[in-house]
Amino acid sequence: MVKDSFDIESAFRPLNVLSKILGLAHFSGHGNTVRRKIKHEQNCESEFANVVWRIVVILTVIAGFVTRMITMPASSHFSIFDTVVFILLMPVGYLGAVVALIAGLTFNRNKFPEFVLKVSIIDKDLFGSKRVDVYKKQYKSCIKQLKALPLIFFPFYCYVTYVFSKDLNCMQGHLHLSNFIKEVVILQFINVVWMITERLKYLNKEVANSLEFRTEVRSNAPLFVSASCISNTESALHTSPLEFGNKNAAILLCDFPVFTRRRSSFSEVDRLIRVRKLYDMIYRVSKLVNGMYGIHIVLDLIYNFINVVVSVYGIIGATTGSIKINPKLPVFQYIVVYICWIVVCLAKVVAMSVSCHKASAQVEVCCQEVQKLLISDALRQDTRRQLKLLLQQVSNNRVVFTACEFFTINMSFLFTFVSSATTYIVVLVQVK
């Protein structure tokens, strides 16, 4: 790629290609930071083809769900395990995929290009010419992620199909397609949060370096010292060094420039105002991300929660013989599948929690840096005022990621997730 044409869309190009194949919304606009507009390079024919393809994928997922519900084993009495799997888990899984696909055609259609524009404006001011290296780093990270994604999920999906499909049909394929669509959406979210975290880190460096002492020449005035300071110290104590009529009158040694540590208040204020503007833009980008991915995060967390509970209960039921399993397959194969589902679901929750927590932690670092500057030096009044305004701005407008404003995603949420899942597992075991 040409260095000048390497922008934020190029950084996400590998993930964009996969999203386009799956019918998801992708970062399709080049941010023009000069005119602050999105430049769309797709013509009407390609855009129409993308819309048609997304509709085809949506209908495929819906057809899989309908077929699964029609062929669901009819029974007058469902066990607790069957009820949770067929009535709760499976519909939520399909619903998450359908919502992600429909969002790309409706309310997320313009949010992704807007995200591209806002981040491009931030990067131009924050990184300058270094933004190309940042984008290349993001590009390499996407390549590594997409190489690992099929190696992890495809063998697992094949094994799940082998264990749970008594009759090999296309229904498991529809279910795995919907699951893979949701994995890619979460991968998009994690990468976007990582981008915001990196920009907050760099902004914190700007805050730490916003007050720099500069050695400046204050004056080149002649320096007078007493001649008796060299010859007669005692006499110099009673003689003023500026009494030119005295025999110990002061003499001009040389014209020494006097250096002093001095700060330019105007440059400090300008830097802090720039930092405040950048933080405001990053905060707005985080709000935009919450709007883009909020509903997807809610549905995926519900699916992961139910899946973890069901999988743990499935392990207990398979070992005790309380749930129906295929008699042709050994019990340990079911246990391995359930363990894999637990690992996959918990890994997604951990990845989201850690990523969001790191972004929020950078906000705390920013507050600490500002407080250090406020107490570490005798500041001018205008500089101190800008620091206080920055601290107030960061405290009131914190960069946090939420699930549709229901709850904040961080490390404490991970503890809540695990403890709640444990409680529901105990309840299921007691009412079996």
pLDDT at 44: 61
pLDDT at 168: 47
Mean of pLDDT values over 87-105: 84
381 contacts 263 by C-beta, under 8 angstroms: no
Tens digit of pLDDT for each residue in 147-205? 888 888 888 887 777 777 654 455 667 788 888 889 889 998 999 999 899 999 998 88
Same structural domain for residues 158 and 247? no
Distance CA 240, CA 82 (A): 102
Of all helices (H) and strands (E), which one includes residue 320? helix 265-320
Same structural domain for residues 124 and 246? no
The domain in which residue 39 lies consists of 3-213+264-430
Mean of pLDDT values over 23-30: 69
Tens digit of pLDDT for each residue in 97-140? 888 888 888 877 778 888 888 888 888 888 888 888 888 888 88
**Is 283's pLDDT higher than 90?**
yes
What burial class does residue 263 get, using C-beta atoms within 10 Å of its C-beta: 0-12 exposed, 13-18 middle, 19+ buried? Answer: middle
Same structural domain for residues 221 and 291? no
Number of domains in the chain: 2
Q: Using pLDDT thresholds of 50, 70 and 90, give the confidence band for residue 242.
A: very low
Same structural domain for residues 164 and 247? no
What burial class does residue 210 get, using C-beta atoms within 10 Å of its C-beta: 0-12 exposed, 13-18 middle, 19+ buried? Answer: buried
Query: Minimal CA–CA distance to 112: which of 238, 16, 218?
Result: 16
Which of these ranges, 20-24, 43-47, 184-188, 374-378, has the smallest mean pLDDT? 43-47
Mean of pLDDT values over 67-73: 70
Same structural domain for residues 273 and 378? yes
Q: Which one of 202, 228, 261 terminates a domain?
A: 261
The chain-wide mean pLDDT, for the chain, equals 76
Same structural domain for residues 12 and 81? yes
Q: What are phi and psi of 150, to 5 degrees?
A: -70, -30
Q: Which one of 261, 276, 295 terminates a domain?
A: 261
Same structural domain for residues 376 and 417? yes
**Is 287's pLDDT higher than 60?**
yes
Same structural domain for residues 256 and 321? no
Same structural domain for residues 278 and 254? no
**Is 229's pLDDT higher than 60?**
no
Same structural domain for residues 226 and 310? no
pLDDT at 220: 44
Mean of pLDDT values over 321-328: 67
**Is 252's pLDDT higher than 80?**
no
Q: Which one of 261, 294, 327 terminates a domain?
A: 261
Same structural domain for residues 240 and 206? no
Same structural domain for residues 107 and 230? no
If you compute the radius of gyration of the chain from its CA atoms, what whole number of angstroms results? Answer: 32
Query: Minimal CA–CA distance to 393: which of 310, 276, 295?
Result: 276
Q: Using pLDDT thresholds of 50, 70 and 90, give the confidence band for residue 324.
A: low
